[in-house]
């Protein structure tokens, strides 16, 4: 059986039954990203004890057709009772029939590398493509093994930082506005795209979520208590995500974020957390952000996306000549902005 779930109560019940999911899969999180002519939907499949859920945003194409896309984050299928020998033929057949019935032209989703078997579930359904890498700490590794992966510059910087700085756990509700203010200033300095300026309701949702636990950590000057850097960490099941981070401009050169990454590694090590994700960065391993993150860990996870053209003739008829000739892996191509 397969269906589209649109109501919060049913969606929440589905998520609570899953063996593997992340906070990105929840109903409330999806509602934060809704725009005009869009709605949050959960593709819900059940066969015997096996349950599979794929959360999406449904968008109107204004020609009687629709497409599905994922929100910000790491998503893909969540599931329950999926055994290693799972045969996905029935699932794929029911999925395709559902999408055709709903006039869905294409599907795009970012995948979650820390949820196993997503590739097994989607095998044979469109394409799964690697688009980058993420750096992470494997929290089942020993303290010695983890610290030995720190490069020389990071070790030296930590020694200096620990002499004049300390880490403080913030009160999420009381310190939310402070974190947002510093975070926005950091984005301004980096000339970040508008989509990274998360509104306050995003943070309010995290504070109230029953599916995850969110914490704010600050690096502060030991003498003046001035805030130097901050991170937002979100824990869901056995996954912890360093979701957002900032460095105050006047402390950029001394890199206080190193102190916070080190503290996060230790703080989320004895809490049933298996993976602490530091995220990726533009330019891959040669980019400055990835080089910074890989100065802590040499463990990389493939960041993949799922692309599925459900109705090829309609899909290709919607792609303009200019879009077709444009060298880009953007998907779906009919939404590519060429101007």
| Domain boundaries defined on the chain | 2-132+303-335, 141-273
pLDDT at residue 32, rounded to an integer: 93
Structure tokens at 177: 């506005």
pLDDT at residue 62, rounded to an integer: 81
Task: Give 196's DSSP letter.
Answer: G
Q: Please say if the pLDDT value at position 270 is more than 80.
A: no
pLDDT at residue 160, rounded to an integer: 95
pLDDT at residue 154, rounded to an integer: 96
pLDDT at residue 282, rounded to an integer: 78
With residue 119 as reference, give the H or E element that holds it.
Answer: helix 118-122
**Angle at which helices 172-190 and 200-208 cross, to 10°:** 140
Position 88 confidence tier, pLDDT thresholds 50, 70, 90: very high
Q: Chain-wide mean pLDDT for the chain?
A: 94
Place of tokens 């504070």: 207
From the options 3.40.630.30, 3.40.50.720, 3.40.50.1820, 2.40.30.10, give the CATH code of 2-132+303-335. 3.40.630.30
When pLDDT is averaged across residues 239-248 and rounded to a whole number, the result is: 96
Q: Please say if the pLDDT value at position 273 is more than 90.
A: yes
Q: Please say if the pLDDT value at position 72 is more than 80.
A: yes
pLDDT at residue 84, rounded to an integer: 80
Q: Is 135:299 a contact under the CB 8 Å cutoff?
A: yes
326: CB partners within 8 A, 6+ apart = 333, 336, 338
Structure tokens at 297: 């860990």
Position 187 confidence tier, pLDDT thresholds 50, 70, 90: very high
Q: Is 75:55 a contact under the CB 8 Å cutoff?
A: yes
pLDDT at residue 252, rounded to an integer: 87
pLDDT at residue 79, rounded to an integer: 97
% the chain with pLDDT above 90:
90
Q: Please say if the pLDDT value at position 4 is more than 90.
A: yes
When pLDDT is averaged across residues 125-134 and rounded to a whole number, the result is: 96
Q: Please say if the pLDDT value at position 339 is more than 80.
A: no
Q: What is the pLDDT of residues 33-68, one digit of tens each?
A: 999 999 999 999 999 999 999 999 999 998 899 999
> In CATH terms, are 2-132+303-335 and 141-273 the same topology?
yes
CB atoms within 10 A of CB 127: 12
Structure tokens at 252: 């950029």
pLDDT at residue 103, rounded to an integer: 98
**Angle at which helices 152-164 and 257-267 cross, to 10°:** 90
pLDDT at residue 283, rounded to an integer: 72
Higher pLDDT, 327 or 231: 231
pLDDT at residue 44, rounded to an integer: 98
Structure tokens at 105: 């032209």
The answer as to CATH 3.40.630.30 being correct for domain 141-273 is: yes
Q: Bridge-partner residues for 203, per DSSP?
A: none
């Amino acid at each position: 059986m397969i269906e589209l779930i649109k109501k919060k109560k049913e969606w929440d019940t589905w998520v609570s039954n899953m063996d593997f999911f992340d906070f990105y899969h929840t109903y409330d999180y999806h509602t934060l990203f809704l725009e005009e002519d869009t709605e949050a939907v959960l593709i819900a499949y059940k066969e015997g004890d096996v349950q599979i859920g794929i959360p999406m945003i449904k968008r109107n194409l204004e020609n009687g057709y629709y497409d599905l896309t994922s929100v910000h984050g790491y998503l893909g299928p969540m599931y329950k009772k999926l055994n290693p020998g799972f045969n996905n033929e029935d699932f794929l057949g029911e999925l395709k029939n559902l999408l055709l019935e709903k006039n869905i032209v294409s599907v795009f989703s970012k995948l979650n590398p820390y949820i196993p078997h997503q590739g097994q579930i989607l095998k044979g359904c469109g394409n799964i493509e690697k688009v980058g890498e993420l750096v992470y700490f494997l929290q089942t590794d020993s303290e010695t093994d983890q610290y030995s992966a720190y490069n020389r510059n990071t070790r030296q910087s930590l020694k200096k930082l620990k002499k004049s700085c300390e880490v403080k756990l913030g009160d999420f509700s009381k310190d939310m506005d402070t974190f947002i203010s510093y975070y926005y200033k950091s984005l301004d300095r980096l000339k970040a795209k508008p989509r990274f300026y998360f509104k306050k309701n995003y943070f309010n949702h995290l504070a109230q979520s029953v599916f995850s636990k969110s914490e704010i950590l600050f690096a502060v000057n030991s003498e003046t208590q001035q805030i130097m850097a901050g991170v937002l960490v979100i824990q869901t099941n056995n996954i912890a995500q360093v979701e957002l981070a900032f460095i105050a401009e006047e402390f950029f050169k001394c890199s206080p974020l190193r102190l916070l990454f080190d503290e996060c590694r230790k703080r989320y090590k004895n809490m049933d957390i298996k993976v602490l994700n530091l995220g990726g960065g533009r330019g891959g391993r040669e980019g400055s952000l990835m080089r910074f993150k890989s100065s802590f860990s040499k463990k990389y996870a493939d960041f993949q996306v799922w692309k599925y053209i459900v109705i090829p003739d309609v899909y290709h008829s919607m792609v303009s000549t200019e879009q077709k000739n444009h060298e880009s892996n953007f998907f779906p191509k009919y939404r590519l902005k060429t101007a």
